[in-house]
Structure 1
Amino acid sequence: MTKARVIVTLKNGVLDPQGKAIESALGGLGFAGIGSVRQGKVFDIVLEETDPARAEAALKKMCEQLLANTVIEDYSITIG
C-alpha cells in the first residue's frame, strides 16, 4: 500500500474570497500581524499500488481529472 497526500491550492493571481473572509475574521478575533490568507484542500489517499512511480502517475491522473481544477489550481503530491 502507498500513502499519499495531495495539496491543492489556488494559483497565484487567482482571487481567493474564502481566504479573504478568513483573513478578516482572524483580524476581528484579535489576531494581529496576519499579512494574508490563502485557502486550499488536502487529500490523504491510500492506494493499493506499491510501486511509487505508478502510484504517483495514478495520483497525477486523479488530480488532473477530479481533485484539482488545473485552470485555476496547482497541486503537489507527497508519497510516504
Structure 2
Amino acid sequence: EETTVVAHERCSGHDGTYAVKKETRDKSVKIARPTVRKVNDQKPDHFISDCPMAGEHIANLADGVDSAQHPMTLLRIAYGIR
C-alpha cells in the first residue's frame, strides 16, 4: 500500500506554557490557525508530531483529528510491531 507523507513545517503556537496560560491562549490559537487549517484540509489518516504538547494542541484545535501520535508509534504500526 502506498503511503503519502505531507509535512507541515509551521508553528503550533504552543511554545511551552504559552497555549495553556489564560493570558496567552487566544494568541496561541491564532498562531496555530495556519497549521490547523492545513491539517483540516489534508484530512489525514494519522497525525504525528515529535513534540507531544504541540501535537495535542493542534489536534485539539483541528476537526477530525482525535490526537497526535509520536513518529515512532507510526513506525511501529508500519512494521507491524504492536
Same fold flag (TM > 0.5): no
Q: Which has the higher contact order (CA 8 A, sep 6+)?
A: 1
User: TM (normalized to structure 2)?
Assistant: 0.27
Give the strand-richer structure, 1 or 2: 1
